[in-house]
Each structure stands twice: as structure tokens, then as C-alpha cells.
């Protein structure tokens, strides 16, 4: 198990990659990291006027040529010497014109001079291995890039700044302290040291469990900002589910006809609801059927509803609710339900059955998908329902990801056992081992202890050039 800061993990090679997305853009960046970065860049850089040698953290104007001495591009080059760079190694960044052909040309020229192709996430992996950041910060870099909305990016930013690392390290230090007090009593029994009272130990383990619980809760609370909330449109055939899907998306995504049973499979699209990322799913309309394909579609719809963060039950305002509508009312808890009483343009006033549903305390919105009415109210209701219970509290805005949460749960389990065993007066050295385990799982989070497998599984999800 390598540990961060271990000299054996230092990287000797110099890597290069295109750091910006492939496609046309104003600027594209090719990045180098490693001891030969400046040597390699120097061989290809044709300085512009007034160049007086490479200065750290300054932009140098000039040109990049290839080995055949052809000028490839007009560039700005920055040199960031170790240790004050992203990777803590010597880094050179070349700002080129943002076209795939020119960037590939520059990259190839760097390879010819001895740079090696960077693996996915290798720059960030080096930053971690060289102790510039811990594993939670490295993962936050990826979460930042993948954040579906600005809220998600803010959460990733919190972790990038090291706030989760601080929380975990603080927790670990308190456990270390506990262990020190525990071991003193074991190691020097003859010195008549005061033994840590076991109920004190149990209480402190329980306090650590509470701190972990808060972090685990934050995982759940912030999940929708990381992954997007699953919102499913359901209801009987022809109620206007697909029309509402199109109206919310602002484009004709789903087929709409007056023929009942138009949608047979499900359709999924992503949507940004004022910062809340939503995976909006249109499902097959419900009705009694013996058609095999339709039955399969209805089953898929049921499964989606059971996993959904929210179900929008679309009702036809001009028709009394049928058994198919009422079934959904039974299947979904009111906290996860918004009723869209659609085709409002076909009725005057509020039908009695709608009032009955309102009286039951169900969240209800009047819409007309064809006229585009009630969409804002629907959006507000969806946001309100999803965020009501999930809005992170200021103290728990630092949210672990799934890997981090899993390690927290393992540590929590050890601490619960520790508290239980302490109350049963299990010998101190056994309790010490429990504490060690609890610390080890916390170390997995920050990467103080990490296996090559864990590292690979994290960094393989990065793009090349990050
Ligand atoms: N007057 C009116 N007609 C609507 C409204 N919304 C949908 N419709 C019409 O209702 C019919 C069915 O609409 P869809 O959106 O296909 O309904 P659906 O619920 O997806 O139907 P299935 O896919 O068959 O389950 C179409 O003719 C739509 O134009 C509305 O708000 N007002
Ligand atoms: Mg449909």
C-alpha cells in the first residue's frame, strides 16, 4: 500500500496532453509536466521579439515549430517551475489556437522531443502523489468538471478547497488522541497511569459516529446536485405527459398524438431547473392492455416510479380520474408526488374532484401543455418537493461522494462496535485494534493509505489532460 509522500511514488517521466476539449475554440492548451518540460518546450519554441529567456509564471509570446522546422502555431507559453505548479513538478502550458489539428500537431512535436502521452487524470494523479492535494481534492477536481449545474460546482469547490479533508482529518486526530490515551494505560500498567474510563471511551466513540452521520446525511442531501434528480412523468394514456415533457424542455422531443398509447417506451432528457439538475423521464401511458410491448413499457414505468425522487402524475382536467390514475396515488407517497392537472384550457373553474384532491393536502398545479400555461408553477413545485428535505444545512454542505461515503460507513461500523465492546469491558488492546480499523477507513478517504486499485479506479474516470 503506497502512502502519499512516499518518495517511491515520485514520477520521473515528462508527460504531455491537450488539456482543453477537442473541437474548435478561441484557445486550446497543450500541457507538459515533469522534469524535462522546459527542455522539451525550449527546443520547439521560437521566441517573439523582446524575449529575454524563460521567466517563471510569465507568458512568453512566440511560435511553436515541429522537427522539420515548420511553424505550427503562434502561441503564448507559460512556465511554472516545481513546486508551485498544479502537479508540483515543472509544468509548461502552451496556449495555441483552439483547433484539433493544430493542437495535435503541437502535441506530436512534443512527443518527438521525448514527452510521453499522459494517461487519463495523470496530471491530477501526480498532484496527489506529490502531496499537493489529498484524494478528496483530487476527486473534487473531477466532480467540478462533471458538475451538471452551478450548485453542483459550488459543492465540488468546497471539497476542492479541502473542507472534506479537514473534517476527516479532524475526526482522525480525535481518534488518534483516544488511542493514545487508551494505549498509555496498556503499555505502562506498572506506572499506575489512570486508565481511560471505558464509558468515557464509549461516549467519545459515539460522538465520532455522530460526526460521521452528519457527513453521510450530506451525501444523501446533495446527491441530486451531483447526479441529477430523477423526475418521472406518469399517468393514464393521453393525459398530456409527452406534451408536458416537450413544454418543459422547450422543444419537440417526444411524439405527441391524439391516439392513446402513443408513448410505449420511456424517454429521458436532462434539464436545469434553476440550478437543480433533473433527469426528466416520460413514460408509457397507463391503461388496461394485453399488448406485450405496451405491458413491458408499463412495467418499465413502474420501476422508474419506484426509483424516482419525484413523480409528476399528469391528470386530464376534463376527465374524472380513472383507476390508472388512482393506482399511482396509492403507489407514490405524497412527499414524492406533484399532480399536474393538465388540459386546463378545456375546463372552466375547478372540477369537484380536483378540489377533493387539494383537500387531501396533495401538491397540485394546473397546466395547459398546449398553451404553455402553469409551467413555472410546475417547475417551482418540483423544485420545492425535491429540495424541501434535501437542502443542505450550512454545517453539512461538505458532501462526500459514494466512495467516500462507503469508507465512512465502514469506519462508523468499527466505532459502533468499539462503543459496544467498551461497555462490555473488552480488553484495552482489542479496543485499540478497533480504533486502528476506524482510522484506516478514514485514511482511505483522504488517500493517506490507498491501494493502486483504488487510485486506478478513481483516475480512469478523468479525461486526458486533467
Ligand atoms: N387541449 C389540450 N390538449 C392537450 C394538452 N396537452 C396535451 N394535449 C393533447 O392531448 C393528446 C395527447 O397528448 P400526449 O402528450 O401525447 O399525451 P400522453 O400522456 O403522452 O399520451 P400517451 O403517450 O398515449 O400516454 C394530444 O392530442 C395533445 O395535443 C393540453 O394542455 N390541452
Ligand atoms: Mg406520451
- List pLDDT tens digits, range 323-342: 999 899 999 999 999 999 99
Could you tell me which residues come within 8 angstroms of residue 196 by beta carbon, excluding any fewer than 6 positions away? 178, 181, 182, 185
Q: Is 140 inside a domain boundary?
A: no
How close is the Cα of 235 to the center of ligand 1, in Å? Answer: 11
Pocket of ligand 1 (CB under 6 A): 237-243, 256-258, 260-263, 285, 342-343, 345-346, 368-370
Please tell me the total count of domains within the chain: 3
Q: Are 400 and 164 in contact (CB under 8 A)?
A: yes
Average pLDDT over residues 361-367: 95
The answer to whether 147 touches 170, Cβ cutoff 8 Å, is no
pLDDT at 321: 93
CATH number at residue 62: 3.30.1360.120
Q: What is the pLDDT of residue 298?
A: 96
C-alpha 261 to ligand 2 mean position (Å): 7
Q: Give domain status of residue 141, yes or no.
A: no
Do 143 and 226 form a contact (C-beta atoms < 8 A)?
yes
| 237: its cell numbers | 394514456
Average pLDDT of span 226-255: 95
Taking the centre of ligand 2 as the mean of its atom positions, its distance from the CA of residue 319, in whole angstroms, is 17
**Residue 422 in this model has a pLDDT that exceeds 50:** yes
Q: Indicate which residue's Cα is closest to atom 8 of ligand 1.
A: 240
Whether the Cβ atoms of residue 273 and residue 382 lie closer than 8 Å to each other: yes
Distance 282 CA to ligand 2 centre (A): 7
Q: Which residues of 239-265 are buried (b: 16+ CB within 10 A; e: fewer)?
A: bbbbbbbbbbeeeebbebeeeebbbbe
Return the closest-CA partner of residue 38 out of 4, 72, 99, 80: 80
Task: Find the domain containing 106 and state its range.
Answer: 7-133
Task: State how far the Cα of 430 lies from the Cα of 419, in Å rounded to an integer.
Answer: 12
How far is the centre of ligand 1, averaged over its atoms, from the C-alpha of 239 (Å)?
Answer: 5
Mean pLDDT, range 240-256, rounded to an integer: 97
369, 374, 378, best to mutate for ligand 1 pocket (most atoms within 8 Å of CB): 369
In a domain, 246, yes or no: yes
CA of 256 to the centre of ligand 1 (A): 6
Window from 81-85, 133-137, 199-203, 311-315 with minimum mean pLDDT = 199-203
Say whether pLDDT at 247 is over 60. Answer: yes
Whether the predicted pLDDT of 106 surpasses 80: yes
Mutation test of ligand 1: which of 237, 239, 240, 318 has the most ligand atoms closer than 8 Å to its C-beta?
240
The residue whose CA has the least distance to atom 32 of ligand 1 is 343
Average pLDDT of the chain is: 91
Q: Which ligand is nearest to the CA of 294?
A: 1
3-state secondary structure of 41: helix
Given a cut of 80, whether residue 160 has pLDDT beyond it is yes
- My answer on whether 233 and 378 are in the same domain is yes
51 shares its domain with 81:
yes
Residue of minimum CA distance from atom 14 in ligand 1? 240
Q: Residues 237, 367: one domain?
A: yes
Residue 148 has pLDDT above 90, yes or no: no
Atom of ligand 1 nearest to the CA of 373: 31
Give residue 151's pLDDT band: very low, low, confident or very high (50, 70, 90): confident
Residue 239's pLDDT is: 97
pLDDT computed for residue 183 by the predictor: 73
The reply to whether 262 and 218 lie within a common domain is: no
CATH of the domain at 326: 3.40.50.300
Instruction: Kindly report whether the global pTM for this prediction surpasses the value 0.75.
Output: yes
Mean pLDDT, rounded, for 344-369: 94
Q: Quote the pLDDT of residue 188.
A: 62
What does each C-alpha distance from 278 to 19, 193, 218, 336, 356 come to in angstroms? 29, 59, 19, 14, 30
Gap from CA of 356 to ligand 1 centroid (Å): 24
Three-state SS at 138 = helix
Residue with cell 465502514: 410
Query: pLDDT tens across 440-464, in order?
Result: 999 999 999 989 999 999 999 898 8
Whether 251 and 340 share a structural domain: yes
The residue count for the chain:
466
pLDDT: which is higher, 219 or 85: 85
**pLDDT digit string, tens, across residues 177-220:** 998 888 776 666 666 556 678 888 999 999 999 999 999 988 88
How many A from CA of 306 to the centre of ligand 1? 24
In a shared domain, residues 311 and 421: no
Residue 388 is placed in which grid cell?
424541501
276 three-class SS: strand
Query: Do residues 21 and 120 share a domain?
Result: yes
Same domain, 290 and 328: yes
Residue where a domain stops, chosen among 342, 367, 388: 388
Q: What angle do CA 351, 356, 358 make, to 5 degrees?
A: 95
Mutate to test the pocket of ligand 1, among 233, 234, 243, 288 (most ligand atoms within 8 A of CB): 243
pLDDT score at 1: 36
> Which of 237, 238, 373 to mutate for ligand 1's pocket (most ligand atoms within 8 Å of CB)?
238
Single out the residue of 197, 202, 123 nearest to residue 464, CA to CA: 123
Statement to judge: residues 233 and 319 lie in one domain? yes
CA-nearest residue for atom 6, ligand 1, is 240
Cα 335 to middle of ligand 1, angstroms: 26
> What integer pLDDT is reported at residue 433 of this predicted model?
93
More confident residue, 24 or 395: 24
Q: Which DSSP string do the residues of 322-372 spell out, in sequence order?
A: -HHHHHHHHHS-GGGEEEEEE-GGGSSS--HHHHHHHHTT--EEE-BTTTT
Of 232, 246, 248, 256, the residue with max ligand 1 atoms within 8 A of its CB, to mutate for a pocket test, comes to 256
CA 259 / ligand 2 centre spacing (Å): 9
- pLDDT value for 11: 64
Sort residue 169 into left (φ over 0), alpha (ψ -120 to 50) or beta. alpha
Label residue 7 by pLDDT band (50, 70, 90).
Answer: very low
Please indicate, yes or no, whether residues 240 and 218 belong to a single structural domain of this protein. no
pLDDT at 25 over 90: yes
Residue nearest ligand 1's atom 7 by CA: 240
- Residue nearest to ligand 1 atom 11, measured at CA: 258
pLDDT at 393 over 70: no
How does residue 8 score in pLDDT terms, banded at 50, 70 and 90? very low
Say yes or no: 160 and 288 in one domain.
no
The ligand with the least distance to the CA atom of 234 is: 1
How far apart CA 66 and CA 96 sit, in angstroms, is 14
Amino acid at each position: 500500500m503506497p502512502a502519499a509522500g512516499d518518495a517511491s511514488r515520485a514520477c520521473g517521466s515528462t508527460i504531455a496532453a491537450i488539456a482543453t476539449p477537442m473541437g474548435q475554440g478561441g484557445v486550446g492548451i497543450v500541457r507538459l509536466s515533469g522534469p524535462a518540460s522546459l527542455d522539451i518546450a525550449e527546443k520547439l519554441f521560437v521566441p517573439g521579439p523582446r524575449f529575454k529567456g524563460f521567466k517563471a509564471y510569465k507568458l512568453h509570446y512566440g511560435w511553436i515549430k515541429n522537427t522539420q522546422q515548420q511553424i505550427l502555431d503562434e502561441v503564448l507559453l507559460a512556465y511554472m517551475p516545481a513546486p508551485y505548479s498544479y502537479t508540483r513538478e515543472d509544468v509548461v502550458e502552451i496556449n495555441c489556437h483552439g483547433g484539433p489539428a493544430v493542437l495535435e500537431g503541437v502535441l506530436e512535436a512534443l512527443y518527438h522531443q521525448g514527452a510521453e502521452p499522459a494517461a487519463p487524470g495523470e496530471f491530477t494523479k501526480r498532484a496527489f502523489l506529490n502531496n499537493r492535494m489529498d484524494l478528496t481534492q483530487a476527486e473534487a477536481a473531477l466532480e467540478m468538471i462533471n458538475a451538471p449545474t452551478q450548485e453542483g460546482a459550488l459543492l465540488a469547490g468546497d471539497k476542492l478547497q479541502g473542507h472534506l479533508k479537514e473534517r476527516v482529518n479532524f475526526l482522525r486526530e480525535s481518534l488518534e488522541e483516544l488511542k493514545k490515551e487508551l494505549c498509555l494505560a496498556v503499555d505502562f500498567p506498572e506506572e499506575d497511569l489512570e486508565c481511560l474510563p471505558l464509558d468515557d471511551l464509549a461516549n467519545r466513540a459515539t460522538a465520532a459516529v455522530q460526526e460521521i452521520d452528519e457527513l453521510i446525511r450530506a451525501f444523501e442531501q446533495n446527491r441530486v446536485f451531483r447526479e441529477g434528480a430523477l423526475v418521472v412523468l406518469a399517468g393514464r394514456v393521453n393525459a398530456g405527459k409527452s406534451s408536458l415533457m416537450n413544454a418543459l424542455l422547450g422543444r419537440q422531443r417526444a411524439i405527441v398524438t391524439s391516439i392513446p398509447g402513443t408513448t410505449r417506451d420511456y424517454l429521458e432528457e436532462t434539464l436545469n431547473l434553476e440550478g437543480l439538475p433533473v433527469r426528466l423521464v416520460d413514460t408509457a401511458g397507463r391503461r388496461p392492455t394485453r399488448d406485450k410491448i405496451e405491458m413491458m413499457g408499463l412495467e418499465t414505468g413502474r420501476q422508474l416510479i419506484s426509483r424516482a425522487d419525484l413523480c409528476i402524475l399528469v391528470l386530464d382536467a376534463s376527465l374524472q380520474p380513472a383507476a390508472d390514475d388512482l393506482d399511482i396515488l396509492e403507489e407514490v407517497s405524497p412527499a414524492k408526488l406533484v399532480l399536474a392537472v393538465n388540459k386546463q384550457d378545456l375546463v372552466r373553474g375547478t372540477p369537484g374532484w380536483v378540489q377533493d384532491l387539494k383537500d387531501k393536502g396533495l401538491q397540485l398545479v394546473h397546466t395547459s401543455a398546449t398553451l404553455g400555461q402553469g409551467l413555472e408553477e410546475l417547475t417551482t413545485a418540483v423544485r420545492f418537493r425535491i429540495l424541501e428535505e434535501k437542502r443542505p444545512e450550512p454545517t453539512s454542505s461538505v458532501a462526500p461522494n459514494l466512495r467516500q461515503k462507503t469508507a465512512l460507513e465502514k469506519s462508523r461500523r468499527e466505532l459502533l462496535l468499539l462503543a459496544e465492546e467498551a461497555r462490555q469491558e473488552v480488553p484495552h488492546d482489542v479496543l485499540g485494534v478497533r480504533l486502528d480499523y476506524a482510522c484506516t477507513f478514514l485514511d482511505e478517504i483522504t488517500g493517506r493509505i490507498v491501494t493502486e486499485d483504488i487510485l486506478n479506479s478513481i483516475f480512469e474516470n478523468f479525461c486526458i489532460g486533467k
